Structure 1
Amino acid sequence: MKRREFVRLGAASSLNAGLFGMATTSAADATVKLDRFGGWTAKKFDATGFFRVEKADRWWLVTPEGNAFLSWGINHLHPDLWNQDYNREAWQKTLGLQKLYGPEFNAALRSWFMGICDRFGFNTVGVHTSLNIVNQPQPQMAYMQPIRFVDLPHWKPDIPDSNFMDLFSPEFASHCDGMAKKMVLPIKDDPFLLGYTMTDCTLFTEEDLRERPDVIGGKRRESRVGWPRRLRNMGAKAAGKKAYVQTMRNLYRDSIGDFNTTYGTPFDSFDALATAEHWRPQTQLSNANETRDNIEFLQRCVGKYYQTARDAIRRYDTHHMFVGDKINANTDSLDTVLPITSQYTDLIFYQMYGRYEVQKPGLDRWSKLTDKPFINGDSAFTMTTDIMPRPYGPVADNLQQRAEWTAEFFHRAFERPDFVGWHYCGLIDAPILVPRKASRQHSGLLNGFGDAYPQLEKILKECAGDIYNIAKG
């Protein structure tokens, strides 16, 4: 990008009215008017001053001004990607800076980012983005605020046992309240806040927790002990152990004999179970009843987690949406916990990498479990290059196929009455030239120097410009 274009885009994105401000779409239909949040002014709802959801023929997000909104987001503005040995000089020239750190860099990167969003038609800052950069001095685009009450993301190879907190304990409730108060109070009146999210693909099920020789970062991950096994092996005073014993009492209708038959144990009462520590550290996966019991208790754990987190947020903010975790739909997590999480959240926030034909059966299935809208919060299609030998996600044969898969998913997903958002992964390439990406890479819509992939740019702009026409059929 030439310096003069950067200045032009930066100036256009800094209007007091916000990024959109009654602009027209940039592609297919120049008659579609947008409010300052990117909402479609031809489809009106009650204005509440905050984002919300409403069902009218199909599900919609609704802007604070009361206009229909579909979330087209972009992820992965991580400043270090702009300041690598291989691309530092190029970004110094593009941004007109000598050093790529500090307040001047943050301001220049933000201005460039807003220009790119305007150019490609993005209307949402994805959850995997440095909000301290894009929201300073004040937000101009819809965004989600993560509050990681539990630090259990699927991509971390090393997670301390202490991160699996006793969700039933007063200490966990106090922990959530403290985090909510700190994070929520400063932004509780922000109209650009789309909602509160939590952890990225939380480790819920045995499938999530099993040993993996190859995680995203490339390092082997040991198997983990999740909430059902962890809490059932605690001592009698632990709140989680008490919840487990009560759950088993209910499941086995107070018959300790039936419980013993499942587990091959000699307990003479559920009170004896309550006092037993470290009595069953492993799960016998071939034991169908034990698997059922663990799922039943996991769902109770997740319910307590979500209720506690939501209540903590609501204590300080009663206006914005509670979105919850971005739940991993490439494992069995979403199928397992959706019946519980959907009781607390305003929408379903999931992650799934796959072409539309792969995601469709899940979306069809999940829509029968809950009448709520869906946002895929992080996914895209990729391809290999010399410096991107192992990119994360479905790998296309070439750029043209990558663009075709992108257009296919965009159109078919947003045609669905239950689908209201896709947050694209990601902004610029993270190749092997970035040390932390040596084992596994992420593809972007631009290369590491900021040059767009032409066919992909054309498709993305066309899709963004036609999003409301696609949704209305």
Structure 2
Amino acid sequence: MKRIVLAGCLGLLCGCHAQASMTPIDLAAPAAKARVTLERVHRDGAPQTIDGFTLQRFTFEAAASPALTVTSANALADGDELLVQVQNAMPWAVTLTIDIGGANPDQHLHAQVGLPAGPPQTLVIPLHATSPRQMGMQVAPPMPFDDHGRPILLATTMEGRLEPRTVHTLRFGVPAPQAEQTLLFGRVEAVSGQALQREAYTGIVDRYGQAARGQWPGKITSDAALRAAHASERVALDKAKMRVGQDEYGGRLDVQNLTKTGWFHTQKANGRWHLVTPTGHAFFSLGVNAVAADGGRSYVEGREFMFTGLPPRDGEWAAFYGTGDNRSAEQGASQGIGYNHGRWFDFYAANLYRVDGTGWLAAWRTRTLQRLQAWGFNTLGDWSDPALGQAHRLPYTRSINIAGAYANVASGLDYWGRMPDPFDPRFVQATDAAVIKASTGVRDDPWLLGYFADNELAWAGAGAQGRWGLAQGTLAGDAASPAKRAFIAALRKKYVAPETLANAWGIALTSWSALDATGFAAPLPSAAHPAIADDYRAWLRQYADAYFRTVAEAIHRHDPHHLFLGGRFAVNTPEAVAACARYCDVVSFNVYADLPQHGFDAAAMRALDKPVLISEFHFGSDDRGPFGKGVVSVANEAQRGPAYARFLAAAADDPQIVGAHWFQYLDQPVTGRLLDGENSHVGLVGITDIPFGGFVDAVREANRRQR
């Protein structure tokens, strides 16, 4: 590896309006006190002065890890933030990695930033671990931002740990470039008291809940413009054609010989699975999740500095304020989210009020149903406003949300919480109560498509060996765990003596009581001990069977008419999917991939011969306000429509798939939703309730081809 060592300069800081906490290092003017090491990087020419910055060109070679490192025997930084003068000389964005080391070699901070092409700017590196989650959202505002006329690029996520004021090394790298990349660096200094991290989040949301710094087609700047946009859409909706060639539920009239039962059901005909309407017609479920008017809520308490034009908390706007508290959430999704309690404001509902006054909710419901039908949708997906389903214009779904004081099991992922313990009698009671609640008032409604049970349960853990997480987590539970007692009972029945199990698993086990220990470290399967995998598979089958059987029996007991639509798998095991297929009418998967078949085991589902519903999918971008691109992103807004069309066509062409539901109706709030700070542009409509025209046009055409 080529290594070049240069001297670094320690000059005097001039003209900085913040308190300086170190003498700056000037990478454009070498001197003798700091050490600059170049690894597969070379220095190009003399320093240049550009827009008031004095910068030195460095070319990072096409290599595995070219890097520029500054080191010093003494601490380089004694401040809150590092400021680095930098410019990307390439005509494209370059990924820059940053690694900061302290006196303790085990302590490091590291980050990765996208360095955009353009003029010189100041890169701000917080000297502590931080992320947008601490600011109450999952994705940070776009960078750079303008700080009183100077471009600032903040490293919004710093990972690791570093004792304060102990920076000894600073390493800049470009990860495995395929061609030479030229960057310019100037002065590096540490400062305190400048609070540029807070500045990056200041004033990022306008009075309508839109991102304040960006511009895009359809962005609203006045109440008059908001009302005019809605008035224009009303004219178009009034002209929209409703169902043609469909039955009253949205079923196709061109598929013959299906059974009429008076309820939605499933049927296989000519090698293809169908959902079938109560009148006996094929129904490909084109749905939208979370069609509700309460999706625009975001915490404002404690971070009022992020918002411009928040309405007063009293008078006519009081109805759009509320309070909440997510501090006790035991799910991984909410961990590390700051500003997670206190007062919130509902930007979406406030905008609906600006358009329609005190009758905004009824007007929204009418408009939303018109839209969904005009756009070719025929189903209200999970978490939608119950009143929309009761209007009997679109078939709808219900969610069985099982909750109670029953035992649970950790699988190692636990993103939405630990797994319910289906061997606990209290879980059976909670399931019965949840089904009674979900089916009340709808068990005799033919417009109800069916029920989902829970959502994205943690059937597996993370990583290559994650599929065994639920088995290992069961044995790690305490001695009173009903699931653990059931697993140990199954092992005792098979092996009889603890020594036999010990030999089969390759572990030390002198008594069955040793398994009772909380935190028991169950072994991972290995080729040397195949019995471990066999026993874990058997347990995963038993566990999944108990869960889905309990839910199915409760549904059949309280509502014999409607479909059990599965558990909306995000992660799964073959055993869980097989159990779902055994007890459910439809197996549902939340698929975040380019095509539906890339998000579940299609071959396994063909073997199980059970219909599949894609209960969530989406494609997002970051050019319409919210900072996040969703789980599956595309380059820009124009690409969302083609991505939707490809996904839907692949779903409709698959004889196992009986529908696909988009997540979600409304964009997420710029500063994050209440639950977990998600803040992505994945909606059909924006926070001002204005549809994203080009995308909706593409969705309408794609839906039309599948009806």
Normalising by structure 2, report the TM-score.
0.54
How far apart in 2 are the matches of 1:373 and 1:301? 22
Q: CA deviation at 1:37?
A: 0.6
How far apart in 2 are the matches of 1:334 and 1:399? 35
Mapped pair 1:246 → 2:507: no
Matching residue of 2:56: none
1:361-390: CA deviations, max 9, x gaps? Answer: 844323233101111111111112273332
Structure 1 or 2: more strand by fraction: 2
How far apart in 2 are the matches of 1:148 and 1:227? 24
How far apart in 1 are the matches of 2:414 and 2:492? 35
Q: CA deviation at 1:53?
A: 0.6
User: Cα–Cα, structure 1 residues 158 and 169, in superposed 2: closer, same or farther, change >3 Å?
Assistant: closer
1:128 to 374, 383, 391: 383
Mapped pair 1:59 → 2:59: no
The one-letter code of the counterpart of 2:611 is P
Q: CA deviation at 1:181?
A: 2.4
How far apart in 2 are the matches of 1:260 and 1:106? 64
Matching residue of 1:414: 652
Checking the alignment, whether the CA contact within 8 Å between 2:290 and 2:381 is kept in structure 1 is: yes
1:166-202: CA deviations, max 9, x gaps? Answer: 3123322222222222332421111011111111100
Identity of aligned residues (%): 22
1:317 to 545, 559, 566: 559
1:296-343: CA deviations, max 9, x gaps? Answer: 312211110111111111111111111221011xx4x15441122110
Checking the alignment, whether the CA contact within 8 Å between 2:435 and 2:554 is kept in structure 1 is: yes
How far apart in 1 are the matches of 2:254 and 2:440? 33
Checking the alignment, whether the CA contact within 8 Å between 2:623 and 2:636 is kept in structure 1 is: no
Q: CA deviation at 1:165?
A: 4.2
Matched position secondary structure for 2:688: coil
Total equivalences in the alignment: 419
Q: CA deviation at 1:440?
A: 3.9
Q: CA deviation at 1:8?
A: 8.5
Matching residue of 2:212: none
How far apart in 1 are the matches of 2:534 and 2:498? 17
Matching residue of 1:69: 283
The one-letter code of the counterpart of 1:76 is A
Mapped pair 1:204 → 2:447: no
Alignment of 1:267-278 (within 5 A): 267-268=510-511, 272-273=512-513, 276-278=515-517
User: Cα–Cα, structure 1 residues 267 and 361, in superposed 2: closer, same or farther, change >3 Å?
Assistant: same
1:116 to 352, 359, 371: 371
Q: CA deviation at 1:464?
A: 1.4
How far apart in 1 are the matches of 2:522 and 2:239? 59
User: Cα–Cα, structure 1 residues 291 and 42, in superposed 2: closer, same or farther, change >3 Å?
Assistant: same
2:583 to 341, 344, 347: 344
1:380 to 612, 618, 627: 618
How far apart in 1 are the matches of 2:230 and 2:657? 37
How far apart in 2 are the matches of 1:156 and 1:296? 22
Structure 2, unaligned stretches of length 5 or more? 1-228, 297-319, 321-344
Matching residue of 1:218: none
Matched position secondary structure for 2:268: strand
Mapped pair 1:390 → 2:653: no
Normalising by structure 1, report the TM-score.
0.78
Matched position secondary structure for 1:2: helix
Q: CA deviation at 1:461?
A: 0.9
Rg (Cα) greater in structure: 2
Checking the alignment, whether the CA contact within 8 Å between 2:265 and 2:562 is kept in structure 1 is: yes
How far apart in 2 are the matches of 1:10 and 1:294? 58
Structure 1 or 2: more helix by fraction: 1
Matching residue of 1:142: 395
How far apart in 1 are the matches of 2:624 and 2:497? 62
- Greater RCO, CA 8 A, separation 6+: 1
Matching residue of 1:37: 249
1:135-167: CA deviations, max 9, x gaps? Answer: 35x4431111111225899998674xxx64431
Aligned-CA RMSD value:
3.4
Matched position secondary structure for 1:73: strand
More deviation, 442-451/84-93:
84-93
How far apart in 1 are the matches of 2:436 and 2:249? 26
Matching residue of 1:399: 637
How far apart in 2 are the matches of 1:327 and 1:87? 29
How far apart in 2 are the matches of 1:107 and 1:177? 33
The one-letter code of the counterpart of 1:425 is F
Checking the alignment, whether the CA contact within 8 Å between 1:302 and 1:340 is kept in structure 2 is: yes
How far apart in 1 are the matches of 2:351 and 2:648? 32
Q: CA deviation at 1:50?
A: 0.6
